[in-house]
């Protein structure tokens, strides 16, 4: 195998493919990157759950394939001078040259590298990379890390007509984002669940302004963004029926500026820590929200102006869960809906279409 390419392009591709490499594995080849020089130069990392394949523009003189340690190859390429890098192999002996620098290292048999699953297209959809990136970023925080319900350790992608809804739940909160799909192939309505670990990688590969195509197969999902391909397994199981889980006939409705509200909650949360846990006590009055909390080191209180009358409704919240939802909400003005002190708080955009919905369950408050 023999090829040459720009160091900067190869370095980016190596670091992208490395993100799907197992840090420790009983199969040594799985701690490596599969390098394939055929009609194009392809680099693949695969940990049996998520696989990432990057294609690099290169001048290929001799075809071939080999596996190199991901950590070592990544460091070598990254620290090379900015120049054209030449890669050649004879058997398992690899020579890498760039400028005046030269390395001779050993590779591994490519036959030992597990084959990336092929995705048989059942349905597919296309949207812009920044749209998918924001949808993932604004829902991923609510994915569960509880392995007793594996299906909730991922996000539901629910396609109805030309609308894609991404939903994450963890038992204490729900995050939902909706956007219009640019293109769609397959049946009218379909849905699948993508593991949260794979979605955090998808968010990183959606770094451009172009389109990303999502392909649903029988057991796997494929995301293709430019020269990068990500394949992950689908999560099976019954996902929470989110439409019926969100209460919408709420009696108390107030509006607030998202930044002002977040600053207020953030200040009161300063005396809450991992060791000193305490809920935020929120009292929704007429035109004013009063927030307070008490821990072993002291107490804190603040107020935030709101629109509407909460009728003195008192609700307790986990500060992190409430702040995560308000931080993620892509709107300057929010609408908060409640029914009682023990019912969920529903957060929506104050104006325009309901492109997002967040739901946070309250915490029981001790009597004053």
268 CB contacts (<8 Å, ≥6 apart)? 280, 291, 292, 293, 300, 301, 302, 319
Which helix H or strand E contains 264, and what residues bound it?
helix 258-268
Per-residue pLDDT averaged across 320-346, rounded?
Answer: 95
Decide if pLDDT at 346 tops 70.
yes
Q: What is the pLDDT of residue 280?
A: 96
- For the four alpha carbons of 241, 131, 358 and 306, in that order, the dihedral sign comes to negative
Decide if pLDDT at 231 tops 90.
yes
C-alpha span between 338 and 148 (Å, rounded):
30
Residue 328 corresponds to which tokens in the numbers above?
């993620």
325 in Cβ contact with 360 (< 8 Å): yes
Angle between helices 70-79 and 7-18 (to 10 degrees): 150
214 in Cβ contact with 222 (< 8 Å): yes
C-alpha span between 60 and 35 (Å, rounded):
12
Q: What is the per-residue pLDDT across 190-227, written as a single tens digit (0 to 9) for each?
A: 999 999 999 999 999 998 899 999 999 999 999 999 99
Distance between first and last Cα of the chain: 74
- Cross-strand bridge partners of residue 262: none
pTM summary value? 0.92
pLDDT > 90 in the chain, percent:
90
Decide if pLDDT at 349 tops 80.
yes
C-alpha span between 164 and 142 (Å, rounded):
18
- The structural domains of the chain, ordered by start, are 2-112 (3.10.150.10), 123-243 (3.10.150.10), 246-360 (3.10.150.10)
Q: What is the per-residue pLDDT across 159-191, written as a single tens digit (0 to 9) for each?
A: 999 999 999 999 999 999 999 999 999 999 999
Phi, psi of 215 (to 5 degrees): -115, 130
Phi, psi of 75 (to 5 degrees): -65, -45
Q: What is the pLDDT of residue 368?
A: 59
């Amino acid at each position: 195998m023999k090829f040459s390419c720009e160091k900067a392009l190869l370095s980016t591709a190596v670091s992208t493919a490395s993100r799907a490499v197992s840090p420790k594995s009983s199969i040594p080849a799985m701690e490596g990157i599969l390098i394939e020089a055929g009609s194009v130069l392809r680099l693949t990392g695969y940990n049996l759950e998520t696989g990432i394949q990057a294609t690099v523009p290169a001048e290929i003189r001799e075809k071939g394939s080999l596996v190199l340690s991901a950590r070592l190859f990544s460091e070598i390429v990254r620290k090379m001078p900015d120049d054209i890098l030449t890669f050649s192999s004879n058997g398992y002996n690899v020579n890498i040259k760039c400028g005046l620098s030269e390395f001779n290292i050993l590779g591994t048999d490519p036959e030992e590298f597990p084959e990336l699953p092929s995705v048989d297209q059942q349905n597919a959809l296309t949207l812009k990379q920044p749209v998918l990136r924001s949808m993932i970023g604004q829902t991923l925080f609510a994915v569960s890390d509880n392995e007793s319900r594996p299906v909730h350790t991922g996000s539901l992608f629910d396609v109805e007509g030309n609308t894609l809804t991404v939903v994450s739940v963890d038992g204490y909160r729900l995050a939902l984002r909706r956007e219009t799909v640019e293109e769609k192939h397959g049946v009218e309505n379909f849905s699948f669940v993508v593991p949260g670990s794979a979605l955090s990688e998808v968010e990183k590969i959606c770094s451009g302004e172009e389109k990303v195509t999502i392909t649903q197969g029988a057991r796997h999902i494929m995301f293709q963004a430019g020269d990068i391909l990500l394949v992950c397994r689908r999560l099976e199981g019954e996902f929470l029926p989110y439409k019926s889980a969100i209460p919408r006939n709420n009696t108390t409705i107030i509006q607030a500026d998202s930044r002002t509200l977040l600053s207020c909650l953030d200040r009161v949360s300063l005396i809450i820590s991992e060791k000193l846990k305490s809920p935020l006590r929120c009292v929704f009055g007429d035109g004013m929200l009063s927030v307070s909390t008490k821990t072993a080191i002291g107490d804190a209180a603040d107020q935030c102006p709101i629109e509407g009358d909460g009728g003195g409704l008192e609700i307790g919240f986990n500060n992190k869960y409430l702040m995560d939802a308000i931080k993620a909400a892509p709107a300057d003005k929010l609408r908060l809906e409640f029914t009682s002190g023990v019912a969920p708080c529903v957060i929506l955009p104050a104006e325009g279409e309901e492109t997002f919905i967040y739901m946070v369950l309250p915490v029981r408050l001790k009597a004053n």
